[in-house]
Each structure stands twice: as structure tokens, then as C-alpha cells.
Amino acid sequence: MYDVLIIGSGAAGLTLALSLPHTCKIAVLSKDVLTEGSTVYAQGGISAVLDATDSVASHIEDTLNAGAGLCDEAAVRFTVENGASSIKWLLEAGVPFTREENDTNRLHLTREGGHSHRRVAHAADASGAAIEHTLVGQVRQCNNITLLEHHIAVDLITSRKLGHRSNRCIGAYVLNRKVKRIQTLQARFTVLATGGASKVYLYTSNPDGASGDGIAMAWRAGCRVANMEFMQFHPTCLYHPHAKSSLITEAVRGEGGRLLLPDGSRFMPRFDPRAELAPRDIVARAIDHEMKRLGLDCVYLDISHKPRDFILSHFPNVYATCEKFGYDMSKEPVPVVPAAHYTCGGVMVDHNGQTDVDALYCIGEASYTGLHGANRLASNSLLECLVYGKSAAQNIMQRLQEPALDLPIPNWDESRVTDSDERVVITHNWDEIRRFMWDYVGIVRTTKRLQRARNRIELLLHEIDEYYANFRVTSDLIELRNLALVAWLIIRSAINRPESRGLHYTLDFPKTNAKLEGIPTILDPMTTYHAH
């Protein structure tokens, strides 16, 4: 038995693992290699109040403004107030943040859309990679941490599922992808740090593993979820048939990049006085509007008016990616389109990351803390991972003396299933979900489109459940099952919000409804009808 089972190996999960005492017996699960998650692809950085001209009040105000009346102010304050100490912890861990050229004692801070100050600490334009590789290096040196790469969680084990009156999480069933066998991992405390669900959309900046596993498992275990209709679309993904998941960081616009139509004219000033520095939802919707209005495949992002040396020093990785696909961003505009990027909703938790199920925690993108509201402010996400990773660790430490719930756990039963000879069912359903989510539940929605999507997903959930019951579990089937459930949660949440706010924009209710100010969309598995 482990003291703590951490499902996910990004910034949130690793921060938690490193913040627990060395006497703790910990397992960290990763679907693939440890570094293959959303954290490593994060370009921008971490927002925190690090400059004398900035203030906690200003960072809170910017976050609340971006969140469009749906942030939990206490969660925002808690997160922002812990920002500077989070950066200090990363610096002590050895993260190579970019420094000022003329004063290496000071961090170089950049500014991104929605921020009123320069407050984003970064490691060039590959901040996530720098953080992930540093934390992985530290975790590998800890003898108390078992790293289980190529393992994917199938489902959580709870006392209620075993017939107990209480609902406490006591571990998880896990598929070892190398040997294709399901293991039972028992733990006193289980933490979901599984990332978001943007793979539910056809075009996404996220890696393949972002299939909403933690959110789906938590729902099945009895946890409420909130604000799943608020899926953030990054305005600028490189538009090229082979440029999979290639983001062009927000910081390019923060440093003066302009969005252009094919004729070279700017369009953002027509949509918002902040132009290219408006929050992401406004920029993504403006791009979507112009593409539909003019029948365009893409728009263009131009920073070629800046000196070449400036571009190479600030955006070396973005420059290299663009060059690989035939674009020189120091000489020409590059083609961009919006893509699903961040899940603002998730599993409901308190300031300790504790869910509705006892001994089950959820941190990072899979969680709903109340920080992001109706739209995430740029570079607040890695900050949330660190702050809640730390607070969950502190809460678990306080509970380590509690007696474990000693229940016999049955092994996974595969006696009545067979290997499937119809893998096409999985690939077809996966593709169908991602296409209709993009078409019907994307940047701009209507009630009719949402109802179509709901009807289709409920049919697919029945299909997938039947398949799951009859065939041996594979990682593709696990992800499809989770993806379908999360798609259903997104659709139900979107139908339940008859207004446009932040990332949720519907043509049938184009205005914000003042009566819904401060009210998150909450779905409860105990009371919400669902198709399976």
C-alpha cells in the first residue's frame, strides 16, 4: 500500500510529490514517459507579483476581470498571494528562468493578454519544459517515490463501490501498458493530477493524453464538476497540416505581435480597445468571426517589425518551429488558427484540493478551484498547479496519522471479456466525437447545435459502454470512454447556461445575464441524469 498515489506527472503532481515528507511512500503514475504531458508544452510562463510597481490587488483584479464575474474571489486571492513564494521555490529547485540582460539578479518579466503589468516569469519561450525537466530531475533522486511510467488509470476504487456506507477513495485500478495487465494500487490518499480535456476537440494545442481522464474518473466516483462549458481556445496555433499542437505563445502578442487579415490589415482594434492584448476569449472569437465572414482558412500573426535578434532571443523555440514548417517569423507573418487549449472547469475542490470523495484530491487543470471563472487569465495555470500542489501536500501531511480504511479489494476481473477484433469502432467514435464537438460545441454555439451534440453523445455513450463491458481494456478504450463522458459533461453544462459569458458564447443568448453573476454551473453525479 502507498501513502499517496499521484495520477499524473505534470507540474501539479510533481510539486505535490516533492512537497511531501521523505518518509512518505509515494507512487507517481504517467501514461507515457514522465515528461509527456501538457506542462512540458507550456510556453508562456508563470504569473506572479514580482515587481515593486505591481501589486497583489492588481493581479487579483486582472484575474477577476478575465474571469467575467465567475471567479471565486477567495480562491483568486489565495492563489495570487502564494505566487511569489511559488516562484522562489522553483528558483531554489533550479528552474532556469530568463534574467534581465543588464541585471542578472532580476528575472525578466513579460506581459500577456489581460495583464495590466509585466508579471510573467518565463524561461525563454519554453517555460513548461524548463519546469518539468527540473522537477522530474528532483523526483528521480527521491528514494521514497516510485515512478510508474506507461501506466494509465482505469478507474478509482472507492469504499462505496465496495458496498461500504462511506465514500472514501482507497486507490485505483491501473493498466500497465507495457505488459497489458491491470494492477490494483491501494493508497491511503489518491491525487488526480491528470490535466485537461482539450483532446475532446478536433483542433487542439494539447498532447494526445489530454482526454479528461481525471474528471471522468472523479465523476464516476461521485464528485461534482463545475464550469465544464468554459473551454479556452488558444487564439494562435500554427496553421499547417503537419504542425500538430504547435502553439505560438501569447507572449508574441505581448511583445508587439499584430494579427492581420490576408490583405495585411489589422482587425483586433475593431473588436476591443486592447486589440491584440485583449483576453484570449475575445481574440479567439474575433479570429473565428473574421475567418467565417471572409471564408478564410487562417489569419496571420506578424512580429517581423521587431529586430531579428529580439525575436531570436525571446522566442527561440517558436522561431525554430515556424522555420521547420517554412516560415521565417523575423521576415514575414505566420498563419494561425484558434485551437482548444485549456479546461477552465473541472472537479470541484476546496483550497486543499480535496474533492467530494474523502481522501481523493484533484489539482491542476483537472480541478475546478474557482480561480479561472469564465476565462483563464494567461499564465495563471502553472501558478495554480504549484499553489494547490503545495496546499494539498500540507493537508495530506496533517492527515498521515489517520488510520487507513482496511477493506479487501477484489482484483480486476477479465474472465468474461475477449480481445476485440473491431478497433475501428474506437477510432471511428473518437474521430466522430472530436468533429461534432468542434462543429457544435466550439468557439460559437447555438442551442440547436448543443442539442444535436447531446443526442449524438448519448448514443455513443451507450455504444462505448457496451464495448467496454465485452472487450479487454486497452489504453485507447480507456481514453475514449473518458473522452465521451467529458464531452457529455461539457455539452450538459453549456445547455445549462442560457447566456454568453467569457468562453461560453451562444448566438441564442448573446448577452450576459446579470442574475447568473457569480453562479458556477455545477453538475452532481448523485442528482444529474446521464446516459450511462
Catalytic center residues: 280
C-alpha distances in Å from residue 120, one per residue of 59, 99, 309: 11, 12, 21
Residue 439 C-alpha cell reads as 462543429
Q: Are 50 and 119 in contact (CB under 8 A)?
A: yes
Residue with cell 500554427: 238
Pairing of the two strands 231-238 and 299-302: unpaired
What's the rounded Cα separation, in Å, for the pair 236 and 71?
Answer: 25
Candidates 262, 257, 240, 275; CA nearest to 329 is 257
C-alpha distances in Å from residue 365, one per residue of 193, 345, 348: 8, 8, 11
Strand partners, 215: none
What's the rounded Cα separation, in Å, for the pair 227 and 448?
Answer: 20
What's the rounded Cα separation, in Å, for the pair 77 and 64?
Answer: 10
What's the rounded Cα separation, in Å, for the pair 83 and 183?
Answer: 38
Count of positions (residues) in the chain = 532
What's the rounded Cα separation, in Å, for the pair 212 and 407?
Answer: 28
Residue 443, C-beta contacts closer than 8 angstroms, at least 6 positions apart? 233, 284, 285, 288, 338, 505
What's the rounded Cα separation, in Å, for the pair 38 and 130?
Answer: 13
3-state secondary structure of 29: strand
Cα dihedral 336→490→522→157 (10° resolution): -110
**Secondary structure in 3-state letters for 199-241:** HHCCCECCCCCCCCHHHHHHHHHCCCEECCCCEEEEEEEECCC
Residue 8 C-alpha cell reads as 499524473
DSSP labels, 58-76? HHHHHHHHHTTT-S-HHHH
Residue 110, C-beta contacts closer than 8 angstroms, at least 6 positions apart? 44, 45, 118, 120, 122, 251, 254, 255, 314
